[in-house]
Amino acid sequence: MKKTTLNLLLAGLFPALISCSASADNTATLASVKKNFEQHFADRAVTDVRLTPIKGIYEVDVQGNQIVYVDQKVDYLFVGDLVDVKNGQSLTEKRQSELSKISWNVLPLQNAIKEVRGDGSRQLAVFTDPDCPFCKKLERESLDGVNNVTIYIFLYPLTQLHPDAMHKAKQIWCSPDRLVAWKSFMHDGRALSGADTCDTPLESIQDLGRKLGIDGTPALVFGNGRMVAGAVPKDQLEAMLDDSTKK
């Protein structure tokens, strides 16, 4: 790593005592940063540019919920966590959580396999691939014993990684009892043998996943719109489900 880049990265670890109030000057500066960034990276769509607590360093939000940090002229760029040391908080992680939130209303729940546990009061949508080992881990470990939740299972095969996953997803959807077929395959490893020729919503789910920026499985969407990637441990999953019900 070059010395100048390292210095810029280290600068991100120290909070600065400056105001982030909006002004006409700030607006012009942010527009300048956006223009300079797009000149350097014409293939990356900028969704937002924001001030950071560090003078001269700006946050650039790039399509796909990626966050990078630059100087005004975009002579320097770094990727990584911007940490508020005093409060022990990653500002980058907080911002990514905000960017990844989606409206629960955009989810076509009729295209999901629905499972109600207990009173079903908490809500969770899972974009999942039948051939994804981490999806099996989520089903067998993280979701094992989790109660009082309604789970919407969106079949989202990653065909680039798992060539046979689309065929299996169709077999599951075309089964007389989709939930039973899903659980038998994911939990018990029972082979699928049914047809895959019925009408399925898999293509529209693929389109939705791409729009939401989902490029890996499992992807979890909680009732409050928070989206989290990966087979998170059971205790964390429970905490996120509880948090999603808070007003």
Which of 119-149 are b and which e, b meaning 16 or more Cβ less than 10 Å from the residue's Cβ? eeebbbbbbbbbbbebbbebbeebbeebeeb
- Which residues 6+ apart lie within 8 Å of 157 measured at CB? 129, 130, 131, 165, 166, 168, 169, 202
pLDDT, one tens digit per residue, over 43-96 is 988 989 999 999 999 999 988 778 999 999 999 999 999 999 999 999 998 888
Which regions of the chain carry the CATH code 3.10.450.70? 3-100
Predicted pLDDT of residue 23: 53
Q: pTM score, two decimals?
A: 0.70
Work out the pLDDT band at 155, boundaries 50, 70, 90. Answer: very high
Residue, of 103 and 109, whose pLDDT is higher? 109
Which regions of the chain carry the CATH code 3.40.30.10? 104-243
* Distance from C-alpha of 232 to C-alpha of 219, rounded to nearest angstrom: 10
Predicted pLDDT of residue 24: 62
Return the percentage of the chain with pLDDT > 70, whole number.
89
pLDDT, one tens digit per residue, over 25-49 is 688 899 999 999 999 999 988 989 9
- Looking at the domain that runs over 104-243, which CATH code has it been given? 3.40.30.10
Whether residue 124 has pLDDT greater than 60: yes
DSSP state of 174: T
- Which residues 6+ apart lie within 8 Å of 77 measured at CB? 68, 69, 70
Task: Classify domain 3-100 at the CATH topology level.
Answer: Nuclear Transport Factor 2; Chain: A, (3.10.450)
Work out the pLDDT band at 194, boundaries 50, 70, 90. Answer: confident
Q: Give every strand in the sheet of 77-78, ordered side by side.
A: 46-51, 58-62, 66-70, 77-78
* Distance from C-alpha of 34 to C-alpha of 44, rounded to nearest angstrom: 11
Predicted pLDDT of residue 98: 81
Predicted pLDDT of residue 58: 96
